[in-house]
């Protein structure tokens, strides 16, 4: 992946799909954990597989990587700590049309892994195109401080409201959702007044349909 190429942001559905992580250390464990968290069916191949990897819900193959190991996978992560081996894995996977990421080597990636903040179904990703993972991590930490648990409740309220609008045969595109979000809904949720926040949302949606 050219370092200066613009990246196309996307959220991949990996649940139930076969993914391969090559490497058995701490970096490989972190990559595998992220895939497992999203429901992927993860295989790990490495000459030595450490306890962090073994503690995960993955299938371990403790042996050196062999040419052809990428076959049949939807996504591959190369985290061996060996730049030449990571490049070999990248070239093989890329030639087979398989999405591949090589840890700390943007030139050997067909996709980049951003720093991520999760709040329930809310996902906020920060990337620097591989230029500075440290900056992405720092920005993620700052966002993490600002996105409290109230946002999980907020998305639930918004989801329910959207379903009600659709059930009533109304267009969700015609609703002024921003008006509701710019109200004091979050403050009410933070104060534990979820019922009042729900009422405020209904009032905003009702006024936007007039």
For the domain spanning 1-113, the CATH number is 3.40.50.720
Given pLDDT bands bounded at 50, 70 and 90, which one contains residue 131? confident
Averaged over 67-94, what is the pLDDT? 97
Render pLDDT for 157-166 as a digit per residue (tens, 0 to 9). Answer: 999 999 999 9
What is the rounded CA–CA span in Å between residue 193 and residue 197? 6
Averaged over 98-114, what is the pLDDT? 92
CA-based radius of gyration for the chain: 21
Domain residue ranges of the chain, discontinuous segments joined by + = 1-113, 150-208
Give the pLDDT of residue 4: 62
Give the pLDDT of residue 104: 86
Give the pLDDT of residue 6: 82
Render pLDDT for 1-44 as a digit per residue (tens, 0 to 9). Answer: 555 668 899 999 999 999 999 999 999 999 999 999 999 999 99
User: What Å distances lie between residue 82 and 64, 79, 88, CA to CA?
Assistant: 12, 8, 10
Give the pLDDT of residue 210: 54
SS3 category, 128: coil
């Amino acid at each position: 992946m050219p370092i200066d190429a613009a990246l196309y942001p996307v959220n991949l559905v990996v649940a139930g799909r076969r993914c391969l992580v090559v490497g058995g250390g701490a970096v490989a464990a972190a990559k595998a954990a992220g895939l497992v968290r999203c429901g992927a069916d993860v295989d790990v191949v490495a000459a030595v597989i450490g306890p962090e990897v073994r503690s995960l819900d993955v299938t371990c193959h403790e042996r050196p990587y062999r040419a052809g190991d990428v076959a049949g996978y939807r996504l591959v992560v190369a985290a061996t700590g060996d730049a030449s081996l990571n490049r070999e894995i990248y070239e093989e996977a890329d030639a087979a049309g398989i999405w591949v990421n090589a840890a700390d080597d943007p030139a050997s990636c067909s996709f980049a892994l951003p720093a991520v903040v999760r709040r329930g179904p809310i996902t906020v990703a920060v990337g620097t195109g591989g230029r500075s993972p440290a900056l992405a991590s720092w920005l993620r930490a700052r966002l993490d401080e600002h996105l409290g648990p109230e946002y999980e409740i907020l998305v639930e309220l918004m989801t329910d409201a959207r379903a009600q609008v659709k059930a009533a045969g109304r267009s969700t595109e015609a609703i002024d959702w921003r008006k509701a979000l710019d109200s004091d809904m979050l403050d009410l949720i933070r104060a534990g007044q979820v019922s009042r926040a729900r009422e405020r949302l209904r009032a905003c949606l009702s006024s936007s349909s007039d």
